[in-house]
Amino acid sequence: MQWLFWEQFSHEPNFSSLRFWITLLDKGDDPQYLDKINERQIKGYEALNVMEDHLNKEDWLVANRFTIADIALYAYTHCAEEAGYSIDSFPKIKSWLRRIENMPGYVPIDD
């Protein structure tokens, strides 16, 4: 439950807002949005660091097995680059994303 609440408060708001502003509203270079984008990116990278630190010790978010917490955090993490984030410096997150994508029954989230 902690990861689910954390996802809603510390992760999702910083990824979904940026993805919406950048991909749907095309405001990535709009001076009126730059401060908001910068603020969300800082918080989003903080969230990615929390995930990376945890995944440095465990393969999964809870009980070292695939759970609903992984599914919830996968949703916006897998499209982080669309929201202006680079996950190149987060190798544990990248490995975690691949583990999820290799799960039996995995169905890609398409736009």
pTM of the predicted protein model: 0.89
CA distance 64 to 31: 43
Backbone φ and ψ for 30, nearest 5 degrees, come out as -75, 120
Domain 1-102 of CATH type 3.40.190.10: no
pLDDT of residue 97: 97
pLDDT at position 111:
52
C-alpha span between 38 and 44 (Å, rounded):
10
What does the pLDDT read at residue 4? Answer: 93
The ranges assigned to domains in the chain are 1-102
Q: Which of 69, 66, 85 is nearest to 16 (CA)?
A: 85
Mean pLDDT in order along the chain per 10 residues (111 residues): 92 86 86 90 95 98 96 92 90 98 90 52
| Pair 37, 21: CB distance under 8 Å | yes
